[in-house]
Amino acid sequence: MKKILMLICSVVLCFVASAQVCYKVSGNGLAEPSYLFGTHHLSPLKIYNDNDKAVAAFAASKQIVGEIDMTVNQMVMAMEMQKHMIAPQDSTLSKVLTAEEFAAAKKFFEQYSPQPGLTLEMMDPLKPSAVMQTLAVSLIMKNMPEYNPAEQLDTYFQVEGKKKGKKIVGLETIEFQADMLYNMHSIRKQAEQLMEMVNNPQKSIDEANELNKAYFAQDMQKMYEFSMECESDPVFFEKLLLNRNNDWITKLPTIMSEGSSFVAVGCLHLVGDYGIIEQLRKLGYTIEPLQ
């Protein structure tokens, strides 16, 4: 479940003097500063609205940069995602789960179905990761009343930016993220992860609460350490964070040179020895926390 939380809160270390989620980027030839904002998908807008300097940084920026452009036609985005969510005919949910597992998953789905009338049988053609993602969001919504998907930070920044005439820049394509979300692990591994959540939902809730607690304290370092604590799969870490950070760091200097940019990406991408903050510093940029 921790992997799904990272993907959902997905699909953002260096040590800093104080816990922050927003940073100013200057120097190294930039004509005007840019900004980094570490997002967390379970956080309400309050953490941004209460940060006067982050609000001012957003207002001053000419470009809003995110993991993907979330202002594109939603039908196009849904269709692109759906292509990767469908399982091969010989690997549908009822075929990769035992009869006992499917019965347990069905009971769990009845309790946490995101909408009335939606059954696990209707989700059968989907890959386990797609079912798990749907259930994880529903589970969190029913156990964390402060979570409001309508206040999702990444989407908010891009939608508000577009309303104000700011340029929206995506670091990745929708196709890339869909492939990462639904094809990172084998169908069998996805099924195992789904059953882990079904068999121990309280663990998922506790993990979500722990991540929220650290984020509200603006302690991205703690979020990173907690997320990596039980992560024994180096391939997962490499694909989810390392490779993407290394790709983004080749794009951000050009993007920031084109105008003041408000870069809002998952907070786990900012921290760590291979995080965006440390890599920008190594390129000669000055990074200052906006306290």
Residues 215-228: tens digit of each pLDDT: 888 788 887 777 77
More confident residue, 12 or 47: 47
Q: What are phi and psi for residue 160, nearest 5 degrees?
A: -65, -40
**Residue ranges per structural domain of the chain:** 2-289
pTM as predicted = 0.86
How do residues 182-209 score in pLDDT, each as one tens digit? 998 899 999 999 999 999 988 888 888 8
| pLDDT of 123 above 60 | yes
- Encode the chain in three state secondary structure: CHHHHHHHCCCCCCCCCCCCCEEEEECCCCCCCEEEEEECCCCCCHHHHCCHHHHHHHHHCCEEEECCCCCCCHHHHHHHHHHHHECCHHHCHHHHCCHHHHHHHHHHHHHHCCCCCCCCHHHCCECHHHHHHHHHHHHHHHHCCCCCHHHCHHHHHHHHHHHCCCEEEECCCHHHHHHHHHHCCCHHHHHHHHHHHHHCHHHHHHHHHHHHHHHHCCCHHHHHHHHHHCCCCHHHHHHHHHHHHHHHHHHHHHHHHCCCEEEEEEHHHCCCCCCHHHHHHHCCCEEEECC
Rounded Cα distance between 27 and 22, Å, is 17
pLDDT at 54 over 80: yes
Rank 107-116, 126-135, 136-145 by mean pLDDT and report only the highest. Answer: 126-135
- At 231, the pLDDT band (50, 70, 90 cuts) reads low
pLDDT band at 105; cut points 50, 70, 90: very high
* Choice among 66-70, 136-140, 170-174, 262-266 with the minimum mean pLDDT: 136-140
Q: Is the pLDDT of residue 93 over 80?
A: yes
Across residues 121-144, what is the average pLDDT?
Answer: 88
